[in-house]
Amino acid sequence: MTERQSIFGVTTLISVMVFITAITIPLAAPGADVFIWTDEKGTIHFSDSASDVPARYRKSIKTKKFGPDEELPPATPPATREPADDETAVSPDPAPAVVETLKQFEVPYQAYEGTARRVIVSVRFNNRVTAPMILDTGAPGSLISMGLAEQLDLMDKEHGRLFVSVGGIGGSAVAIRTVINRMEIGGAAIDFVPAEITDSISDEFEGLIGMDFMADYSMRVDPKKHVVIFEQLAAEEDRPGGHDEEWWRNTFREFAYSYNDWKQRLTAVEKEIARSSFSSSGLPSALERRRALARWQTQEAEKLMDRLHRFARENAVPMHWRTY
């Protein structure tokens, strides 16, 4: 063993002995005195003989006599404290996830148009006129009759009356493009609906509702109860005005195409007139009618564009959705 190891071992042993002496009360015979003193480090010492007390501590010595039936004082239990509020508080259970309840609307329908099976429902337009309409999942957009358009004042000069071509199984026909501010079927509703005005299709209904309305809902038909059930789709964050980004982009492109098309036609006919040898008063009636039509339709297309821009501004539609 090296000297260092020997010194370390002795030092350790002495420390252990001092520690045991400091915290252990010697066994005392019944009725004996126990002498207690505290050194400068605050360590309490016990002895059954006053001679064991160092001279500098004898003035502060305390004597304790234990009777025959008296036991040594119990060891002082470790200090305890009341737990802090944040330690005892029970952590609340995490808030349950909010489950969105999707609204459903049951709408009664008329099952027949004569002998033909149809789904004919009552539709309210612009909060003022209610009319029977068929649901047509094969149609991209909605059609209304000329009579219904007149009831809604869609044929006056304040509204866009843009000529377009619509096609179907029976071929194509000329229609008038307009915008319906609001359509409601039961509690299901949609705002700003581009639609076409055509001649009346049937005496049983005033037009058809296409996928432009039904795409915003999950729809099923209950033929036993004769009801159509519309259910809201899960809410999306970005649907200003009730329409998603794709709808906004497509609608702006479609409206802009019509406006640019008629503007180009007007430019073309004016160039033709400029190249002609006719004076303004002597223009052929056909050429004059073409110019008047192109000018009028350019104005009508511009009205629809203005309405679309106004609707977009009112609903804070991002500018990059309005490109065309």
3-state SS assignment for residue 52: helix
Task: Say yes or no: 120 and 196 in one domain.
Answer: yes
Residue 82 lies in a domain: no
Instruction: Output the DSSP codes for 157-176.
Output: TTS--EEEEEEETTEEEEEE
3-state SS assignment for residue 295: helix
Task: Say yes or no: 59 and 130 in one domain.
Answer: no
Task: Say yes or no: 215 and 262 in one domain.
Answer: no
Residue 95 lies in a domain: no
In the sheet where 44-47 sits, what is the strand order? 44-47, 33-38, 62-65
Domain C-terminal end among 235, 265, 299: 235
Task: Say yes or no: 24 and 132 in one domain.
Answer: no
Task: Say yes or no: 275 and 231 in one domain.
Answer: no
Structural domains in the chain (count): 3
Structure confidence at residue 182 (pLDDT):
96
Residue 90 lies in a domain: no
Residue 114 lies in a domain: yes
Task: Say yes or no: 260 and 145 in one domain.
Answer: no
Task: Say yes or no: 213 and 122 in one domain.
Answer: yes
Tens-of-pLDDT digits for all 324 residues of the chain?
A: 444 343 333 333 334 333 333 433 443 444 456 677 677 777 777 677 777 778 777 777 777 654 544 444 444 444 455 555 555 555 566 666 555 577 889 999 988 777 788 899 999 999 999 999 999 988 999 999 999 999 999 988 767 789 988 776 566 788 999 999 999 999 899 999 999 999 888 889 999 999 989 888 888 999 889 999 999 877 667 889 999 999 999 999 999 999 999 999 999 999 988 887 766 666 778 888 899 999 999 999 999 999 999 999 999 999 999 988
Residue 112 lies in a domain: yes
Task: Say yes or no: 131 and 223 in one domain.
Answer: yes
Domain C-terminal end among 176, 203, 235: 235
Residue 98 lies in a domain: no
Residue 97 lies in a domain: no
Domain hosting 7: range is 3-68
Angle value at C-alpha 59, between 56 and 65, nearest 5 degrees: 120
Task: Say yes or no: 296 and 197 in one domain.
Answer: no
Task: Say yes or no: 267 and 223 in one domain.
Answer: no
Structure confidence at residue 307 (pLDDT):
95
Task: Say yes or no: 8 and 124 in one domain.
Answer: no
Q: Percent helix, strand and coil across the chain, each rounded to 5?
A: 35, 30, 35
The structure's pTM equals: 0.64
Here the CATH number for the domain that contains residue 135 is 2.40.70.10
Domain C-terminal end among 203, 235, 267: 235
Task: Say yes or no: 140 and 218 in one domain.
Answer: yes
Residue 93 lies in a domain: no
